[in-house]
């Protein structure tokens, strides 16, 4: 229920709707809660509504930090 799914914006239909790609499955969703949605940005989608953007730089930073933990151990 509280699980939202990451999706990438393919194109904006109007100021409230966009077509997104859930790793192969395309769907039209509501993006009215997103501040200035743009094509190729990631969003987390829950019951047909984008709840937030997913920040690609922050995602990379998290992965980078985990990677450095692994390197420190080996």
Partner 1 sequence: MSEVTLSSMTQSFRQKEAISSLCAKIALAVNPDRTYRFMEFCGGHTHVLSRWGLADLLPENIQMIHGPGCPVCVLPIGRINLAIDLALHHDVILCSYADAMRVPASKGLSLMSARSLGADIRMVYSPMDALALAKKYPDKEVVFFAIGFETTTPPTAIALQSAIEAGLDNLSFLVSHVLTPVAMNHILARAEDLTNPHPVKLDGIVGPAHVSSVIGTNAYREISQKWRIPIVITGFEPVDMALSILMLVNQVNESRADIENEFTRAVSERGNTKAQALIETFFTLREAFEWRGLGTLAHSALRLKDEYACWDAEKRYDLKEVSVPDNKACQCGAILRGEKAPKDCPVFGTACTPAMPLGACMVSSEGACAAYYSYARVPIKNNHKGNP
Interacting residues with partner 1 (CB under 8 A):
1-4, 6, 23, 30, 32-35, 42, 44, 46-49, 51-56, 58-71, 73-74
Helix, strand, coil distribution of the chain in percent, nearest 5: 25, 40, 35
Supply the minimum distance, in Å, between the C-beta of residue 11 and partner 1: 19
Supply the minimum distance, in Å, between the C-beta of residue 18 and partner 1: 14
Residue 9 pairs in a beta bridge with 20
12 vs 44 by CB, closer to partner 1: 44
Residues contacting 47, CB < 8 A, separation 6+: none
Supply the minimum distance, in Å, between the C-beta of residue 36 and partner 1: 11
3-state secondary structure of 72: helix
């Amino acid at each position: 229920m509280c699980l939202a799914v990451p999706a990438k914006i393919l194109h904006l239909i109007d100021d409230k709707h966009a077509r997104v790609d859930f790793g192969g499955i395309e769907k039209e969703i509501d993006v009215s809660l997103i501040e200035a949605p743009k094509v190729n940005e990631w969003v987390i989608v829950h019951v047909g509504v984008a709840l937030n953007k997913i920040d690609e730089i922050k995602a990379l930073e998290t992965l980078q930090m985990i990677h450095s933990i692994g390197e420190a151990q080996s």
